[in-house]
């Protein structure tokens, strides 16, 4: 069994994930000579915000598909997945078994990985599936945005980084792993009689 501190901490981590429902998870920022003030968009659990209209307008030159948040099913799924993780975390804390902690953290890690993989897949699709009649066609050029970090895409310098919600999710994952390590150490130590 986990000790009281670990169980409380696990419950706290699960609750911290609630913030991810109300904060942007990811931000993609675009800078170009004509856009010194920058363009960009945020990905939230259930929506996207920012300069999508302008970005879609520009993307039509290279034949990229319109980014239409309403047509992205993940934005409908993600709030449920996050909610499930919160409840599972609270359940694990209540149950108190170390196995439950490990299972929850693994689930969280898998969820994060799946999310990143999905984001990459969308990026790949937008960047490669281009309209053959587009005005600007550069042989060999594709426009997949970076998953994490920066990349030059024609005149735009694109930067992709976690936003507040994303940082919280990664923080929760890191602290969850720290909790597992703590529990392992406690398990190796003989219990006081």
Partner 1 sequence: MSRSWMHQFAGGLMAALTAAGCAGGGSANMAVDADAAQAVYVAPGEHDELYAFLSGGFSGNVTVYGLPSGRLLAQIPVFSQYPEKGYGYTEQTKPMLETSFGFIPWDDSHHPKLSQTAGMTDGRWLFINGNNTPRIARIDLTTMETVEIIEIPNSAGSHASPYLTENTEYVVSATRFSVPTPQRDISIDEYKTGFDGVLTYVKVDPNSGEMAIAFQVKMPGFDYDLSASGKGPSHGWSFFTSYNSEKANTLKEIGASQNDKDFIAAINWKRAEECVASGLGVATPSQYVHNKMDHSTMRATSRAMTSVTMLDVASCSNLVYFLPTPKSPHGVDVDPTGEFIVAGGKLATVLPVHSFSKMLAAIEAKAFDGEVGGIPVLKYEAVMAGEVQNPGLGPLHTEFDANGFAYTSVFISSEIIKWSLKDFTVVDRTPTYYSIGHLLVPGGDTRQPYGKYVIALNKITKDRYLPTGPELTQSAQLYDISGPKMRLLLDFPVAGEPHYAQAIEASKIKDRQVRTYALAANNDPYVVRSEAETKVTRSGTKVHVYMSSIRSHFMPDNIEGIQVGDSVFFHVTNLEQDWDVPHGFAMMGARNAELLLMPGQTRTLVWIPIRVGVYPFYCTDFCSALHQEMQGYVRVSERGSSVPLKWNSPGQ
Residues at the interface with partner 1 (CB under 8 A): 37, 51, 53-54, 57-58, 61, 135-136
What is the residue whose two structure tokens read 């897949």? 121
d(CA 139, CA 169): 39
- Least Cβ distance, residue 131 to partner 1 (angstroms): 15
**Closer Cβ to partner 1, 113 or 136, answer by number:** 136
**Closer Cβ to partner 1, 52 or 172, answer by number:** 52
What is the residue whose two structure tokens read 């969820």? 111
Exposed, middle or buried: residue 134 (CB in 10 Å: 0-12, 13-18, 19+)?
Answer: middle
- Least Cβ distance, residue 51 to partner 1 (angstroms): 8
**Closer Cβ to partner 1, 55 or 172, answer by number:** 55
Q: How many residues does the chain have?
A: 193
**Closer Cβ to partner 1, 59 or 160, answer by number:** 59
- Least Cβ distance, residue 112 to partner 1 (angstroms): 34
**Cα-based torsion angle of the residue sequence 158, 164, 166, 169 in order, rounded to the nearest 10 degrees:** 160
d(CA 184, CA 129): 48
- Least Cβ distance, residue 135 to partner 1 (angstroms): 6
């Amino acid at each position: 069994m986990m000790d009281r501190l670990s169980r409380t901490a696990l419950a706290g981590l699960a609750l911290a994930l609630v913030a991810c429902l109300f904060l942007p998870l990811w931000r993609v920022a675009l800078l170009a000579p004509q856009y010194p003030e920058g363009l960009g968009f945020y990905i939230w659990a259930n929506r996207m915000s920012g300069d999508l209209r302008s970005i879609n307008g520009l993307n039509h030159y290279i034949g990229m598909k319109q980014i239409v948040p309403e047509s992205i099913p993940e934005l409908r799924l993600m709030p449920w997945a996050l909610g499930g993780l919160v409840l599972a975390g609270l359940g694990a804390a209540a149950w108190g078994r170390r196995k439950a902690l490990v299972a929850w953290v693994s689930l969280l890690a898998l969820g994060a990985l799946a999310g990143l993989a999905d984001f990459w897949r969308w990026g790949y699709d937008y960047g490669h599936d281009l309209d053959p009649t587009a005005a600007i066609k550069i042989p060999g050029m594709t426009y997949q945005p970076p998953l994490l970090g920066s990349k030059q895409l024609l005149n735009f310098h694109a930067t992709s980084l976690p936003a507040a919600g994303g940082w919280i999710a990664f923080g929760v994952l890191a602290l969850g792993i720290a909790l597992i390590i703590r529990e392992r150490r406690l398990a190796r130590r003989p219990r006081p009689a």
